[in-house]
Amino acid sequence: MLTKKDKELIDAATKAISTRYRNDWQEVGSALRTRDGRIVTGVNIDAYIGRIAVCAEAIAIGRAITESGDHGIETIVAVRHPKPDEPGKIAVVSPCGICRELIHDYDAKARVIVPDNGRTPKVVTIGELLPNKYRRGNE
């Protein structure tokens, strides 16, 4: 069940992409709440060469670190804006595999808001999304 704070994050991510949406350039917005309570947003950065694109979650994490240091990720969410010819509305999406790795690296206890088969989104831990995460050496 989503809390009021979870719904605030979804609203913040939705506002970020609603304000910055550009078809084929910025389609995903993200919001995270740091462990000290701040909400930080980001939108994806697309590129002509797809492999240099940067996800919205990575932008939000980078902003959180840059703006006030690393205070951990309490909860994070990403939402996708439909293309002009697509039906539907802005909706919660799951983080890609690379973002799952990044979220886990920066806070192994982070909560992640994900879609739930057409129902109200739900909250899971990053460990549930990325079991048996790769670790270097004896970590």
- Residue-wise pLDDT for 44-90, tens only, equals 999 888 789 999 999 999 999 999 777 899 999 999 999 999 988 99
CB-based contact 17:77 (threshold 8 Å)? no
Instruction: Give dist(CA 108, CA 127) in Å, integer.
Output: 7
CATH number at residue 47: 3.40.140.10
Number of folded domains that form the chain: 1
Instruction: Give dist(CA 36, CA 69) in Å, integer.
Output: 11
List the domain range (segments joined by +) for residue 47. 4-129
Instruction: Give dist(CA 127, CA 30) in Å, integer.
Output: 19
Residue 77 belongs to a domain: yes
Amino acid 53 reads: A
Residue 137 belongs to a domain: no
- Concatenate the DSSP letters of all residues of 73-129 into one string: EEEEEEEEPPPTTS-S--EEEPPPHHHHHHHHHH-TT-EEEEEETTEEEEEEEHHHH
Residue 18 belongs to a domain: yes
Residue 134 belongs to a domain: no
* pTM (whole model) above 0.85: yes
Residue 139 belongs to a domain: no
Active site residue: 8, 57, 101, 128, which one?
57
**Confidence bin at 139 (pLDDT 50/70/90):** low
Residue 52 belongs to a domain: yes
- Residue-wise pLDDT for 100-112, tens only, equals 999 999 999 999 9
Question: Residue 43: pLDDT above 70?
Answer: yes
Is residue 27 flagged as an active site residue? no
Instruction: Give dist(CA 37, CA 69) in Å, integer.
Output: 13
